[in-house]
Amino acid sequence: MPEDCRQYRYLVDKVRNFAERYGYSEIATPIFEFSDVFKRTLGDTSDIVTKEMYSFSDKGGEEITLRPEGTAGVARMLISNGLTQTLPLKYFYNGPMFRYERPQKGRFRQFHQMGVELLGVPEALGDVEVIALATDILDELGVLTKSTLEINTLGNIKSRMHYRKKLIDYLQEFRKDLSADSQRRLERNPMRILDSKEKVDREIVSNAPDFSESLDLESAEFFTKVKEGLDKLSISYQLNPRLVRGLDYYCHTAFEFTTEDLGAQGTILAGGRYDGLVEQMGGPATAGIGWAAGIERLAMLTNNPPEKKRPIAVVPVGPELQGEALVLAQKLRSSGYIVELGYRGNISRRLKRANTLNASISIILGPDEMNRGSVTVRNLDTGNQEEVAFESLSEYLTSFL
């Protein structure tokens, strides 16, 4: 609807402007990709692949999928266009995503996301920068005070494998008590169990080993640098040892901005480091970190679409002046004004429509005024009106731009 589109454009423009300040260029990936792009990157055990993807065969027999998220398409673009030779690269995107989920407040099967991806920067400074960008955006939108930044480290591959073994050993004792999904994940992707929303799983993992106990020196130092960078920028955060990204290519920093103002759907913006993604897709080893934010959820928190710009109504007194009204409307539009020209009806009906459209003024073309080379300009807020000569009209209307 028009008011939704104004809100969407307002949010995207705000994010785009801040992304440009940080040096991010806008891109657009295809709305559908070969299904393998997501199956290879998201993993056969992820909820997105097993339950939520919209996949189908096209007329050529290729299996394609409506994109459920943005990062995999960006990584595919990086490889297929040979862009790994020009790193580092910074990208901003926005657009519709598709997941077959139960529709609920703030979550739709076609939803919209904005996101950024920073590629080719293995240093912790990259993590700090993308979080700082997200913080600036949420602050500008008036959402930061309603949210909490939660961060965690997933360590490097060595640390993750060490923790994976400890986690499996712990969860094996509760195998029969885990939900059916978590039982399937136990061998293939046990870290996803930490992120389970099932009550029985959450009770079990509440006493699971802490990931920090499995961090090697490199991973611990990396996370320390991230926290030091956030401290230098006075960005407040909370450590959440249960915050994970269950896919194998994620590493080191994971973060989310959450709120209690949206009920159960509390995540506003989420991201993490994915140094193994491009390599997993067949490209060279490439560092990456990024985040994505749901536009619908941001809209629910900001709830302040900009007011629609008020038009000027051009009103001919009779049908014989419709041609002159058409010419005047076109001249005013060429000068930058928003102009509504009624298509039918007497002067009373046209003025009523002008009020319905929330026009600021009406320009009335009557035969007597036209003979004098002028028009009547009526202020629709005050009801005051005056006759204005054609040659003075442009200057008179300046305040209504």
The pLDDT of residue 48 = 58
Domain boundaries, the chain: 2-156+216-302, 312-400
Q: Is the pLDDT of residue 176 over 70?
A: yes
What average pLDDT does the chain have?
Answer: 89
Q: What is the 3-state secondary structure (H, E, C) of the chain?
A: CHHHHHHHHHHHHHHHHHHHHCCCEECCCCCEEEHHHHHHHHCCCCHHHHHHCEEEECCCCCEEEECCCCHHHHHHHHHHCCHHHHCCEEEEEEEEEECCCCCECCECCEEEEEEEEEECCCCHHHHHHHHHHHHHHHHHCCCHHHEEEEEEECCCHHHHHHHHHHHHHHHHCCHHHCCHHHHHHHHHCHHHHHHCCCHHHHHHHCCCCCHHHHCCHHHHHHHHHHHHHHHHCCCCCEECCCCCCCCCCCEEEEEEEEECCCCCCCEEEEEEECCCHHHHCCCCCCCEEEEEEEHHHHHHHHCCCCCCCCCEEEEECCHHHHHHHHHHHHHHHHCCCCEEECCCCCHHHHHHHHHHCCCCEEEEECHHHHHCCEEEEEECCCCCEEEEEHHHHHHHHHHHC
Q: What is the pLDDT of residues 250-296, one digit of tens each?
A: 899 999 999 988 776 688 999 999 998 999 888 999 999 999 999 99
2-156+216-302 placed in CATH 3.60.15.10:
no
Amino acid at the residue 327: V
Architecture of domain 312-400: 3-Layer(aba) Sandwich (3.40)
Structure tokens at 253: 């920093």
The pLDDT of residue 272 = 95
Mean pLDDT of 138-148: 93
The pTM score is: 0.85
The pLDDT of residue 292 = 95
The pLDDT of residue 226 = 97
Q: What is the pLDDT of residues 311-328, one digit of tens each?
A: 999 999 988 899 999 999
Q: What is the pLDDT of residues 14-67, one digit of tens each?
A: 999 999 999 999 999 999 999 888 887 666 555 555 568 899 999 999 999 999
Give the confidence band of 360 by pLDDT, cuts at 50, 70, 90.
very high
Give the confidence band of 302 by pLDDT, cuts at 50, 70, 90.
confident
